[in-house]
A and B are shown apart, each in its own frame.
Chain A
Amino acid sequence: AQSVSQHNHHVILSEAASLELGCNYSYGGTVNLFWYVQYPGQHLQLLLKYFSGDPLVKGIKGFEAEFIKSKFSFNLRKPSVQWSDTAEYFCAVNAWASGSARQLTFGSGTQLTVLP
């Protein structure tokens, strides 16, 4: 069964610091990859997604992620975080098997706190 690991449970940064959140998945076949963000008290929203093509994906609000197939990773990055980026970030994977996709599997989430 596919699984998603987010090793950082809580990250605390100062404004303007650079961000990298780790995401690793366990599945050797074709995958679709997503990062979602959940601001305090709100629902999950899509930040970015990767299906195929350029492994460096740019999303909303200055976020980007790089798919490294050999490392089974899809790390999220932002060069300079803002206080408003304080939120929980979820990596999610959809694995393809036998020509169809399984449902999305979410990681446990990483809480990002940005200090003003």
Chain B
Amino acid sequence: DARVTQTPRDKVTEMGQEVTMRCQPILGHNTVFWYRQTMMQGLELLAYFRNRAPLDDSGMPKDRFSAEMPDATLATLKIQPSEPRDSAVYFCASGSTGYDEQFFGPGTRLTVL
């Protein structure tokens, strides 16, 4: 049963450290999304890729966040340097088109102390 996988599932780090989160989309899906979920802001879209090209990353703080797709099977979200306000659950989702169902991964719970 095809699923989106994310690593790590939990990450605790100290302020200023670099954090890298990884996502493996479902094989054959050509769209990948990164979301951040917090109690205060809810679910926010950070970045959106189609065929590995970034289409929209306007939701992402550019000074410290970066998202890439080195190949079709791997998407990464990096925070450098991390800050306590980055603490959240980060979800990756993939889809076969940009407008149909998105399949979500289990998320990475990030805690920045």
Contact = CB atoms under 8 A, between A and B. Distances in A.
Nearest to A108: B42
B111 to A, nearest CB: 15
Contacts of B55: 103
A106 B104 contact: no
Nearest to B48: A103
B105 A109 contact: no
A46 interface: yes
A106 B107 contact: no
A103 B45 contact: yes
- Could you say which interface size class chain A belongs to? 20 to 34
A109 B42 contact: yes
Interface in B35-74: 42-43, 45, 48, 55-56
A103 B98 contact: yes
Contacts of B33: 103-104
Q: What's the dominant secondary structure at chain A's contact region?
A: strand
A46 B106 contact: no
A41 B107 CA distance: 9
Given A32-B99, A94-B99, A43 B56 contact: no
Contacts of A107: 42
A103 B56 contact: yes
A84 interface: no
Interface in B64-113: 91, 93, 97-102, 104-107
A36 B55 CA distance: 24
A101 interface: yes
A8 interface: no
A106 B93 CA distance: 13
A90 interface: yes
Contacts of B56: 103
A109 B19 CA distance: 28
5 contacts: A32-B100, A42-B106, A46-B101, A101-B99, A103-B55
Q: Which 5 A-B pairs have the closest CB atoms?
A: A101-B99, A43-B104, A44-B104, A108-B42, A106-B43
Given A100-B98, A103-B33, 4 more contacts: A36-B104, A43-B105, A44-B93, A103-B56
